[in-house]
Amino acid sequence: MRNQIEARAFSQAVVLTVHDVAVYLRLSEAKVYRMAREGSVPAFRLGKSWRFRKDLIDDWMLREIGIKFRPAIPAVED
């Protein structure tokens, strides 16, 4: 049952190419290839091509922004 749910979720996922991700993230295709090979961005191989699930790219981007752009001084709440 769980595998069927996962398969259904995956089949409905938007899958992007290297070019799509490069445009979406405003990076060069070479940078996207390098990040995929290094495992620093969620990706999978489909034959010889790299593919990326958009929902996983969005989640990854939010985590990266949170890591790289944390405020130096925490906000003080009243």
Per-residue pLDDT of the chain (78 residues; tens, 9 = 90+): 666 655 565 567 899 999 999 999 999 999 999 999 999 999 999 999 999 999 999 999 999 887 775 655 665 565
Hey, what amino acid is at 55? Answer: D
Contact (CB, 8 A) for 53 and 13? yes
Alpha-carbon distance of 6 to 9, in angstroms, equals 5
Alpha-carbon distance of 32 to 18, in angstroms, equals 6
pLDDT at 12: 75
pLDDT at 11: 63
Contact (CB, 8 A) for 33 and 51? no
Q: Which CATH architecture has domain 2-68?
A: Orthogonal Bundle (1.10)
pTM above 0.75, yes or no: no
Hey, what amino acid is at 11? Answer: S
Alpha-carbon distance of 54 to 44, in angstroms, equals 12
Query: Domain-by-domain residue ranges, the chain?
Result: 2-68
pLDDT at 71: 57
